[in-house]
Copies of this chain bind each other. A is one copy, B any other.
């Protein structure tokens, strides 16, 4: 953390506090590496892959290893501050937070762009359906695959998601 980074958002700071609270309760230790990884992660936005995160972490502290990034990300998920997502490109992506707590994604198969959506009615409906089958929802994943029809964006972003079929 020798390098200076910009300011963190209010919500990110809270998530970092929650994370530390979690590790403390679990009897885990506070390390510089985790600090760096959290700092970098919560300054990024969108749906971040391990590689993307690792690449930036490297620029802050080149001695941090891949495994540590993985481990920290898992801890972040376990602590409930971050969610793990798997779209179709073969790797996990993590998102720290969003404007809305529970939301779905629309994934453009042309360019890989990811849009988020939220609808109260949808949430209610989900709970109703789960109740009918006596199922208790912890979290959900709602993904719509299709075309975003945003020509300029499609062309631009395709390159960044070559694996997306």
Contacts from A to B (Cβ < 8 Å): 86, 88, 106, 108-109, 115, 117, 119, 121-122, 125-126, 129-130, 132-150
Contacts and interface: CB of A to CB of B under 8 A. Distances in A.
Identical copies in the complex: 2
Contacts of A135: 106, 108, 115, 144, 146-149
B143 A142 contact: yes
A138 B145 contact: yes
Contacts of A146: 130, 135-139
Contacts of A141: 141-145
A88 to B, nearest CB: 8
A74 to B, nearest CB: 10
Nearest to A116: B133
Given A122-B125, A125-B122, A133 B145 contact: no
A88 B117 CA distance: 22
